[in-house]
C-alpha cells in the first residue's frame, strides 16, 4: 500500500474518535470553534507518526490512540493561535477560527484544546510511570513551541538572523512536536532508552525537514492548493532559511504588503530561484531526513519502521 494510503488509514483512526474524545457539549459555540479546524480536515501527520512509532516497537495501536489524539489537539491549538498572531484569515481552505468566531473566542478555543490534550493523555491505558513521562514530554514540548514562536516573531524585527538561529527556532516551533509524537508512541509501548532516543531523533529531523519544505511550498503553491494565502512568509518578513541564504548572497528582498499581486510574489520567488536559495533549503531538508532515517536502524525490521522512513521522505517531497 502506498505511503499516503497508510497515512490516511491512521489519520482516519483519529477522525473516528473526535466525537468520543472531544464532543460538542456546552457551551456549544466554544466546542464548535475548538473543533473547527479538525472538522475541516488536516493530514494528521503527527498522530500518524505516534501510531507508527508505537507499531515499530510492537505497541498496541488502540491503547495509544488517545495519546495520538492529544498530539493533534496541541497541533490544532498552535494553528489557531498562529493565525491570530500572523493575522492570517484562511486555514485549510476555510476561514480561520478568529475570523469566524472573533478574537476572544479563538483564544479560548485554543486554550480549550491545550487543556483537553493533557486531560486525554493523562487518561491513556498504560503504566502510570510511563504516562507521567509522556505528560512531562508534552509539557516541555508546549513550552518549546512558545519559545520557538517568540523567536519567530522577534526575528521579523531583527536585521541579523543566522542559519543556526533559524534552525533553533524551527526545532522549537515545529520539530519538537513531531519528536514528541514519536517519543510518546514509543514510551507508551514500552520501548528501551536506546529506541526512545532513535524515535525522538527521527521525529525531530522529520519535523525540521517538514518546516523547510513548508517554507518552500509557501512560495510556490497556489492558494487553492495550499489552503492559505501564498507568499505569507514574504509578506510577514519571516526569516526563513531561504530568505537568510538569499540575504547572505546579497539579494535584496522587496517588502511585500498584504494584497500583493501574484506578479509581485513571482518576481521575488524568481530572485530566490536565481540565487540558489530554494535549492539550498531543499538540500538541507533532504540531508536532515537522511540523518533521521539512519537512526531507525536500531529498531527491529517491520513494516512500521519502513513507513516511518517513507513518511520522513514524504515530508520533504510533498506538494502541499
Residue 245, domain member (yes or no): yes
Lowest mean pLDDT, pick from 126-140, 219-233, 259-273: 219-233
Q: Is residue 317 part of a domain?
A: no
- CA separation for the pair 313, 45 (Å, rounded): 13
- Averaged pLDDT, 252-278: 86
Q: Over range 164-172, report the average pLDDT.
A: 97
Overall average pLDDT of the 254-276 stretch: 85
**Confidence check: pLDDT of 258 > 80:** no
Region 238-256 average pLDDT: 88
pTM for this model (two decimals): 0.93
- Residue 46 inside a domain? The answer is yes
**pLDDT in the model for residue 310:** 94
Whole-number pLDDT of residue 233: 85
Mean per-residue pLDDT, 14-38: 97
Residue 33 located in a structural domain = yes
Total domain count for the chain?
1
Taking residues 284-302, report their average pLDDT: 96
What is the rounded distance in angstroms from the CA atom of residue 277 to the CA atom of residue 154?
A: 22
User: What is the pLDDT at residue 1?
Assistant: 47
96 falls within a domain: yes
For residues 89 and 187, the model is more confident at 187
- Is the pLDDT at 203 greater than 90, yes or no? yes
What is the structure's pLDDT at 78? 97
Task: Determine which of 13-17, 219-223, 258-262 has the lowest per-residue pLDDT on average.
Answer: 258-262
More confident residue, 102 or 259: 102
The answer as to whether 312 is a domain residue is no
In a domain, 217, yes or no: yes
271: containing domain: 3-306
pLDDT of residue 226: 66
pLDDT top residue among 252 and 217:
217
> What CATH number is attached to the domain comprising 44?
1.10.600.10
Is the pLDDT at 102 greater than 90, yes or no? Answer: yes
Confidence (pLDDT) at 69: 98
Indicate whether 123 belongs to any domain. Answer: yes
Amino acid at each position: 500500500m502506498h505511503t499516503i494510503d497508510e497515512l490516511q488509514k491512521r489519520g482516519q483512526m483519529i477522525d473516528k474518535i473526535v466525537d468520543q474524545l472531544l464532543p460538542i457539549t456546552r457551551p456549544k459555540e466554544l466546542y464548535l470553534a475548538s473543533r473547527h479546524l479538525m472538522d475541516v480536515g488536516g493530514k494528521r501527520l503527527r498522530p500518524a507518526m505516534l501510531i507508527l512509532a508505537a507499531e515499530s516497537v510492537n505497541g498496541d495501536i488502540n491503547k495509544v490512540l488517545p495519546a495520538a489524539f492529544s498530539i493533534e489537539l496541541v497541533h490544532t491549538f498552535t494553528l489557531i493561535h498562529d493565525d491570530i498572531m500572523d493575522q492570517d484569515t484562511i486555514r485549510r481552505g476555510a476561514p480561520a477560527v478568529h475570523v469566524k468566531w472573533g478574537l476572544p473566542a479563538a483564544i479560548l478555543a485554543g486554550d480549550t484544546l491545550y487543556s483537553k490534550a493533557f486531560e486525554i493523555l493523562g487518561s491513556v491505558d498504560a503504566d502510570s510511570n510511563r504516562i507521567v513521562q509522556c505528560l512531562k514530554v508534552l509539557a516541555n514540548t508546549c513550552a518549546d513551541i512558545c519559545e520557538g514562536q517568540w523567536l519567530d516573531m522577534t526575528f521579523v524585527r531583527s536585521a541579523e538572523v543566522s542559519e543556526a538561529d533559524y534552525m533553533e527556532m524551527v526545532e522549537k516551533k515545529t520539530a519538537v512536536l513531531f519528536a514528541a509524537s514519536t517519543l510518546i508512541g514509543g514510551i507508551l509501548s514500552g520501548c528501551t532508552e536506546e529506541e526512545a532516543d532513535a524515535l525522538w531523533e527521527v521525529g525531530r529531523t522529520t519535523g525540521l525537514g517538514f518546516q523547510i519544505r513548508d517554507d518552500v511550498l509557501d512560495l510556490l503553491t497556489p492558494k487553492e492548493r495550499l489552503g492559505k494565502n501564498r507568499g505569507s512568509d514574504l509578506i510577514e518578513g519571516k526569516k526563513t532559511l531561504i530568505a537568510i541564504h538569499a540575504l547572505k548572497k546579497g539579494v535584496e528582498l522587496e517588502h511585500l504588503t498584504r494584497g500583493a499581486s501574484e506578479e509581485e510574489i513571482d518576481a521575488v520567488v524568481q530572485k530566490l530561484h536565481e540565487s540558489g536559495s530554494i535549492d539550498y533549503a531543499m538540500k538541507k531538508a533532504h540531508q536532515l531526513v537522511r540523518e533521521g532515517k539512519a537512526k531507525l536502524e536500531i529498531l527491529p525490521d517491520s513494516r512500521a519502521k519502513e513507513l516511518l522512513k517513507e513518511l520522513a521522505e514524504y515530508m520533504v517531497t510533498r506538494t502541499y
